[in-house]
Chain A
């Protein structure tokens, strides 16, 4: 919008800012009780576009607030470096469709190693390109982590994640919170 000077009166916002705001206001009622005993570990990929490229850490700080609220602070492990100093996963800039697959995966090896270093079971990727790239690298380099969207974990924590909405969850959470038919 700024680049082309397109006139507009609407405001552009990230859904992550809104999640954080709604949790603080109490309109989004979610907590980490579900993970108190399970202690499943999560890390997060900071998308370059909402971290380094906006020259402010406010959205990625909101992102951590939301994630800690839904998985528990003790179950969140940050990669190093992170936020505006993060490494790009290698899926951005159109790389997933640019055709240089071998180079794209070599690029992402840094990210893959960072993820493994955290020991986390799940990587939350609040960006489609990051999601596709990080999942692809898990298969390619033989990782065992799962790559999930943020909304999946929010709904899981709220106990409202439907049966069809669990494609990216691992076996540990595939049935979590679903009503047992014979119960």
Chain B
């Protein structure tokens, strides 16, 4: 005769860990209905899907979960939790699986961008001086070549500006001419704005890396700069 599964002996360390960090994740409420999986574009990649991943968590298969690269294929887009009748927070579960990976084993690309951001304020690792040089350079060219925008005023860290604009750092590095259309719109609408030069990158790969410490550091430095140096009232991301 086959033995029944002795549930009392299950040890679910990872599950307990996720549950303590996300008390309202409802991990135990899964009905295995599969609504999450049916609407998830990552279902089937690496032979994995959200329902299966959660089932593994509940069965204490911690080692298998943290070994599976699926946590990095899921984008934490949130479609699963929206569809879930029990509101199980799968994206936060995934975030904490990522956090359970040893930092040095997490994807190199994401880790590198996070480290650059902590060091230099943006994921591309652009020194602040280069960023300021680039925006001034692009602005000069527009002022010279496009008479309608002779009065274009692009500034960095201007105290008292009403609005601060976060710039995705890909632009100043790889396609600086993608910055100026937005400048022109802001110019014509008469917005009083400036770029920050502290943690100015609009992206945040520490968040994707599940590096809470790095994520928090970036946000704190940024908020401090806006509150105490620029004293802006509104912060706007370009996306």
Residues on A lying within 8 angstroms of B by beta carbon are 1, 3-4, 6-15, 18-19, 22, 27-29, 47-48, 50, 52-53, 84-85, 87-88, 90-100, 103-104, 106-111, 126-128, 149, 151-152, 154-155, 158, 160-162, 164-165, 167
Contact B72 A95 (CB under 8 A): yes
- Contact partners of B226 in chain A: CB under 8 A: 8, 10
Minimum CB distance partner of B72 in chain A: A98
Expressed in whole angstroms, the Cα–Cα distance for A15 and B208 within the complex equals: 22
- What 0/1 pattern do residues 183 to 202 of B give for CB contact below 8 A with A? 01100111000000000001
26 CB < 8 A contacts A-B: A9-B233, A13-B235, A14-B236, A18-B236, A19-B185, A48-B79, A52-B78, A52-B82, A88-B75, A88-B77, A92-B76, A93-B72, A93-B208, A94-B208, A95-B72, A98-B72, A98-B73, A100-B69, A103-B73, A128-B168, A128-B202, A151-B182, A160-B184, A160-B188, A165-B178, A165-B181
Contact of A99 among B79, B108, B223 (CB under 8 A): B108
Contact B239 A126 (CB under 8 A): yes
Contact B73 A95 (CB under 8 A): yes
- What 0/1 pattern do residues 66 to 101 of B give for CB contact below 8 A with A? 000100111111110010000000000000000000
User: For chains A and B in complex, what number of residue pairs have CB atoms within 8 angstroms?
Assistant: 176
Contact of A167 among B109, B177, B219, B234 (CB under 8 A): B177
Expressed in whole angstroms, the Cα–Cα distance for A98 and B164 within the complex equals: 30
Expressed in whole angstroms, the Cα–Cα distance for A13 and B227 within the complex equals: 16
Contact of A107 among B75, B177, B237 (CB under 8 A): B75
Contact B236 A13 (CB under 8 A): yes
Q: A98-B110, A103-B46, A151-B182 are in contact. Are A15 and B188 (CB under 8 A)?
A: no
Q: A8-B226, A87-B41 are in contact. Are A128 and B181 (CB under 8 A)?
A: no
Q: Is the C-beta of B216 less than 8 angstroms from some C-beta in chain A?
A: yes
Shortest CB–CB separation between residue B68 and chain A, in angstroms? Answer: 11
Contact A11 B75 (CB under 8 A): no
- What 0/1 pattern do residues 87 to 125 of B give for CB contact below 8 A with A? 000000000000000000001111011000000000000
Shortest CB–CB separation between residue A141 and chain B, in angstroms? Answer: 14
Q: A52-B79, A97-B113 are in contact. Are A6 and B177 (CB under 8 A)?
A: no
- Contact partners of A47 in chain B: CB under 8 A: 239
- What 0/1 pattern do residues 164 to 187 of B give for CB contact below 8 A with A? 100010100001011011101100
- What 0/1 pattern do residues 39 to 58 of B give for CB contact below 8 A with A? 00110111000000000000
Q: A8-B223, A10-B226 are in contact. Are A97 and B41 (CB under 8 A)?
A: no
